[in-house]
């Protein structure tokens, strides 16, 4: 008799545990979905904000949220590095690259804040640029930049960056 009671209790416990796990699972799923939702809204907000931030005056920028403080620091670092990098140029680059890309990727693609680009193939660069632009690869900086460029410019840049390694080697032989 006692054995039966114990068996019954064990079964009940097992069922209860199952229900509990199921609930927990659902809860976790819901939590995950909320997080995803938040992520998405955050992304939209940032993406929208990006072009505006650059057109604001510094005092307005400071008012825009904690994130802009980081951007301020990044901008300062950028300037310092830019000045330093200006002296290291080994070969000439197009005005488009110089204006739009060199501040983060270096005058010759050696990489500063953005990764090193020199030595990477045109195909790789083009794919990366297209993915940033389409949002397939997420990066707000690159996205904001590329959203104002057309396919022709992306191709030209990819083409050019693909020749950096060669140009560097040529300049070192001189």
Residues within the interface to ligand HEC (CB under 6 A): 100-101, 103-105, 113-115, 117, 125, 128-129, 139, 141-142, 145, 157
Report how far residue 51's alpha carbon sits from residue 144's, in angstroms, rounded to the nearest whole number.
7
- Residue 33, Cβ density class (10 Å: 0-12 exposed, 13-18 middle, ≥19 buried): exposed
Nearer to ligand HEC, 85 or 101 (CB): 101
Considering the complex, what minimum distance in angstroms separates the CB of residue 164 from ligand HEC?
11
Considering the complex, what minimum distance in angstroms separates the CB of residue 47 from ligand HEC?
14
User: What's 97's DSSP letter?
Assistant: H
Nearer to ligand HEC, 65 or 155 (CB): 155
Helices (H), the chain: 2-55, 58-63, 66-86, 95-100, 102-105, 122-134, 140-146, 151-162, 164-173
Nearer to ligand HEC, 51 or 115 (CB): 115
Considering the complex, what minimum distance in angstroms separates the CB of residue 125 from ligand HEC?
4
């Amino acid at each position: 008799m006692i054995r039966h009671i114990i068996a019954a209790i064990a079964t009940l416990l097992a069922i209860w545990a199952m229900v509990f796990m199921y609930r927990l699972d659902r809860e976790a799923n819901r939590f995950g979905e909320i997080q995803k939702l938040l992520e998405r809204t955050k992304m939209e907000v940032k993406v929208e904000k990006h072009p505006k931030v650059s057109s604001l005056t510094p005092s307005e920028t400071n008012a825009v949220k904690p994130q802009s403080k980081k951007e301020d620091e990044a901008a300062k670092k950028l300037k310092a590095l830019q000045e330093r990098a200006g002296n290291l140029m080994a070969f000439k680059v197009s005005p488009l690259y110089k204006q739009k890309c060199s501040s983060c990727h270096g005058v010759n693609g050696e990489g500063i804040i953005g990764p090193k680009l020199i030595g990477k193939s045109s195909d790789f660069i083009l794919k990366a640029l297209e993915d940033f632009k389409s949002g397939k690869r997420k990066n707000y900086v690159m996205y904001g930049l590329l959203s104002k460029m057309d396919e022709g410019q992306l191709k030209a840049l990819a083409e050019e960056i693909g020749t950096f390694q060669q140009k560097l080697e040529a300049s070192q032989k001189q």
